[in-house]
């Protein structure tokens, strides 16, 4: 049974992801980055079912391959082909082009700066796979408090390790260690629960406002803009505080907003929107520079970011419906 507030939260989260990439260099994006990716790990934790352990590790691995690894490879190859075509069109020099094998290396690494050469958003697929794997082990600990304590300890170790290295580890094994904190919190607070179990809407609205204000304050006071993909967190206390506050504000807001078909469709299509919206944004940028004569000053204004975010959603939604009907395995279906 689908929980409407989960669809609302995921839909809002994916819209923030698109806005964060389309609307750059602003305080609003700093706030968005403070919590939008932790939100997805929190939701994934809330959706974790105890039956996973009963089904066994083989069924668990099979599901991870079908729902995350296959989409990762499919969207990775699609992005790779598009990037090759774009480079060929923009750079006619064959000497500057890497070999086909070398150009696929970032996809095999599955994380870090090199993955941006194909599609930087693909990091989430491998990070979520590793986070699921971690919780498959950690979730057997009977105490929720002990689970959270272990997850925090592992996250701090991962952040300390990251400070001594120039890039994240393959397949986001260190990023997943930090994301695990939000995953465990999602399972602890919302696992197997309905939004009706919470308090009246007036109290939810007040709490959402308090958490949102706390998120804004901590995000703007953090010395670095948070980027979970690269484990750039600035102040560790401000990172966790701002992320948790922003996640809780979003969840509480999602419980207040009525269920809608639009939110449900955007939520289901997030598996396509997440990797493909950056391709749309790149296409829009090329078009604006080459054919539309858009002035450079417009690129720095918020109307551009919102317009391109909406346009990307309008492209990605039909693509999701197409894949769902004709190529369901690309999005984790059967």
How is residue 28 written in tokens?
A: 């609003």
Domain locations in the chain as residue ranges: 4-331
pTM: 0.93
- pLDDT attached to residue 307: 83
- pLDDT attached to residue 300: 56
- pLDDT attached to residue 298: 46
- pLDDT attached to residue 297: 46
- pLDDT attached to residue 4: 86
Sorted by sequence, the CB contacts under 8 Å of residue 91 that are 6+ apart come out as 97
Which residue, among 313, 278, 266, has the nearest Cα to 4 in the 3D structure?
A: 266
Per run of 10 residues, the mean pLDDT along the chain (length 334 residues) is 86 94 81 97 95 94 97 95 74 56 86 90 97 97 96 97 92 98 95 63 91 97 96 97 98 92 96 94 74 54 79 95 96 90
Residue 319 burial class via C-beta count within 10 angstroms: exposed 0-12, middle 13-18, buried 19 and up: middle
Residue 70 burial class via C-beta count within 10 angstroms: exposed 0-12, middle 13-18, buried 19 and up: middle
CB 155 within 8 A of CB 149: no
Which residue, among 237, 246, 291, 292, has the nearest Cα to 20 in the 3D structure?
A: 246
Q: For residues 334 and 329, give the distance between their C-alpha atoms in angstroms, rounded to a whole number.
A: 5
3-class DSSP state of 267: helix
Q: For residues 334 and 324, give the distance between their C-alpha atoms in angstroms, rounded to a whole number.
A: 9
DSSP per-residue codes, 294-316: --GGGGGSHHHHHHHHHHHHHHH
């Amino acid at each position: 049974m689908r929980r409407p507030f989960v669809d609302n939260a995921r839909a809002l989260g994916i819209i923030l992801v698109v806005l964060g990439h389309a609307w750059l260099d602003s305080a609003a994006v700093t706030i968005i980055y403070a919590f939008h990716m932790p939100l997805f790990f929190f939701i994934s934790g809330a959706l974790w079912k105890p039956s996973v352990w009963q089904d066994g590790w083989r069924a668990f691995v099979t599901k991870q391959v079908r729902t995350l690894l296959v989409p990762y490879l499919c969207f990775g190859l699609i992005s790779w082909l598009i990037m090759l075509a774009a480079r060929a069109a923009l750079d006619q020099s064959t000497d500057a082009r890497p070999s086909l094998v070398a150009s696929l290396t970032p996809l095999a690494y599955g994380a870090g700066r090199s993955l941006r050469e194909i599609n930087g958003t693909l990091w989430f697929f491998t990070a979520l796979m590793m986070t699921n794997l971690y919780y498959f082990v950690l979730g057997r600990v009977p105490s929720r408090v002990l689970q959270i304590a272990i997850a925090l300890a592992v996250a701090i170790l991962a952040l300390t390790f990251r400070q001594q290295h120039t890039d994240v580890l393959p397949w986001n094994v260190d990023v997943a260690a930090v994301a695990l904190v939000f995953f465990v919190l999602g399972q602890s607070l919302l696992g197997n629960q309905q939004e009706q179990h919470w308090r009246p809407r007036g109290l939810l609205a007040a709490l959402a406002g308090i958490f949102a204000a706390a998120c804004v304050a901590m995000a703007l006071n953090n010395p670095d803009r948070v980027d979970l993909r690269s484990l750039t967190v600035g102040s560790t206390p401000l990172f966790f505080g701002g992320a948790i506050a922003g996640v809780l504000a979003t969840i509480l807001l999602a419980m207040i907003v009525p269920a809608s078909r639009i939110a449900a469709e955007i939520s289901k299509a997030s598996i396509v929107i997440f990797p493909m919206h950056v391709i749309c944004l790149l296409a829009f940028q090329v078009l604006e520079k080459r054919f539309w004569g858009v002035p450079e000053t417009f690129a720095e204004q918020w109307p551009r970011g919102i317009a391109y975010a909406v346009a990307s959603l309008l492209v990605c939604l039909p693509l999701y419906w197409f894949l769902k009907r004709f190529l369901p395995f690309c999005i984790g279906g059967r």
